Amino acid sequence: MPLNERTLLGPGPSNPYPEATAGLAAPLLGHLDPEFIGVLERTCDGLRSVWGTANPLTLPLSGTGSIGMEAAFANTVRPGDAVVVAVNGLFGVRMCDVAARYGADVVRVDHEWGRPVDIDRVLAAHPSPAIVAAVHAETSTGVRSDIGALGAAVRSRSDRTLLLADCVTSLGGMEMHADSWGVDIAYAGTQKCLGVAPGLAPFTFSERAWEHRVAAPPVWYLDLDLLGAYVRGGTGGRAYHHTAPVALIASLDAALRRILDEGIEAVAERHRAAGARLQEGLQELGLELFAAEGHRLPQLTSVRVPEGVDSAKVREQLLTDYGIEIGAGAGPYASSVWRIGLMGANARLDRAELLLAALGRVLDRSRGGSI
């Protein structure tokens, strides 16, 4: 095998936890094998723990984070529903697109990229929307928004509005309290802070969301009624819907056990410490952070490319000389921002120092005109 090991410090995928890689290689089980059902149930329980929810309908969907977004809107939007979407980066834009495809009357509340969601503006956008949607950790800009405060505001106004949160980059990297925050629908992805290969979208759906769900949504594959019959079982037992991606679920199970053994708070603290060191070190290198101070994610740091430096060449040198991947900026910031992730297994001080040392050398060469 070629020696092509990479240190994945971009916006995902991140290097998996060793336990997750071992889980992927375990002997394959059938998707209705009682032993696998045990693995699946433990996975759903683990997801409830990291999410801070008691929702019975908490499960890994087959597909990457975006399939969670699709399932969220497919199962809740009826044509003509008012859906308020807080947009402060690329993934808010994507939510608008997905919601509109299911017929939502999308009320888009745009924010400057790099700023957190402004709760007053979101509430003012519509008096009684069916759904309010926001991204907890905007991976495109490195900004965290206060979903707990948004949930409290939405709940204090109406019992009927559902709160939908994109937690793709937050789950497994930050403490979450979905139930006490008033989150009704949330989804995540495995390849960011959960430290598993891409391919699953953890998903959770509250009782309130269940009461408001769309019967027989237009996407058969993501019909929560049908999925629930397999994941939760029922009077008729577990019904086949589609073949569960058993190897990936075993891998997620192993990663969740690793996270719960370390402790959710300890894992969040590890992300905080690594991110803080990286952000401090980048500023010591003379670089300017992109996201608004006080709202920066520890697990994903956005930093401005210095004047006169070729953004793509620096990333290429990091990859070829040091085997380190970092991300370009998103959307309009593609060549003016870099995005550096310290997620899951990479949320470590030594990874922060490694990146700082390598980036410092590459920047010196860039400024010296040799790349």
Ligand X SMILES: *Cc1c(COP(=O)(O)O)cnc(C)c1O
Q: Which residues bind ligand X (CB under 6 A)?
A: 12, 64-66, 91, 135, 139, 166, 168-169, 189, 198
Please state the closest distance from residue 81 (CB atom) to ligand X, in A. 21
Please state the closest distance from residue 230 (CB atom) to ligand X, in A. 22
Give the span between the Cα atoms of 55 and 205, in whole angstroms.
Answer: 6
The DSSP result for 287-356, as a single string, is: --B-SPTTSB-SSEEEEEPPTT--HHHHHHHHHHHH-EE-EEPPGGGTTTEEEEE--GGG-SHHHHHHHH
Q: Which residue has the tokens 């809107």?
A: 73
CB closer to ligand X, 94 vs 304: 94
CB closer to ligand X, 135 vs 196: 135
What is the edge-to-edge ordering of all strands in the sheet holding 105-110? 57-62, 200-205, 185-187, 162-166, 131-135, 82-87, 105-110
Among 27, 282, 68, 53, residue whose Cα is nearest residue 164: 68
Please state the closest distance from residue 139 (CB atom) to ligand X, in A. 3
CB closer to ligand X, 58 vs 169: 169
Please state the closest distance from residue 198 (CB atom) to ligand X, in A. 6
CB closer to ligand X, 68 vs 129: 68
**Terminal Cα distance for the chain, rounded:** 30
Q: Give the H/E segment covering residue 230.
A: helix 224-231
Asked if the peptide bond before residue 127 counts as cis, ω within 30 degrees of 0, the response is no
CB closer to ligand X, 98 vs 358: 98
Please state the closest distance from residue 189 (CB atom) to ligand X, in A. 4
Please state the closest distance from residue 370 (CB atom) to ligand X, in A. 34
Please state the closest distance from residue 90 (CB atom) to ligand X, in A. 8
Give the span between the Cα atoms of 160 and 330, in whole angstroms.
Answer: 34
Please state the closest distance from residue 27 (CB atom) to ligand X, in A. 27
CB closer to ligand X, 61 vs 77: 61
Please state the closest distance from residue 169 (CB atom) to ligand X, in A. 4
CB atoms within 10 A of CB 67: 21
Please state the closest distance from residue 63 (CB atom) to ligand X, in A. 7
Among 58, 175, 188, 186, residue whose Cα is nearest residue 133: 186
CA 4 to chain centre: 26
CB closer to ligand X, 12 vs 344: 12
The residue sitting closest to ligand X, measured at its beta carbon, is 65
Helix (H, G, I), strand (E, B) or coil at 369: coil
Among 133, 134, 128, residue whose Cα is nearest residue 161: 128
CB closer to ligand X, 182 vs 189: 189
Q: Are 74 and 214 in contact (CB under 8 A)?
A: yes
CB closer to ligand X, 87 vs 135: 135
Helix (H, G, I), strand (E, B) or coil at 84: strand
Among 127, 132, 130, residue whose Cα is nearest residue 108: 132
Give the span between the Cα atoms of 277 and 283, in whole angstroms.
Answer: 10
CB closer to ligand X, 47 vs 356: 47
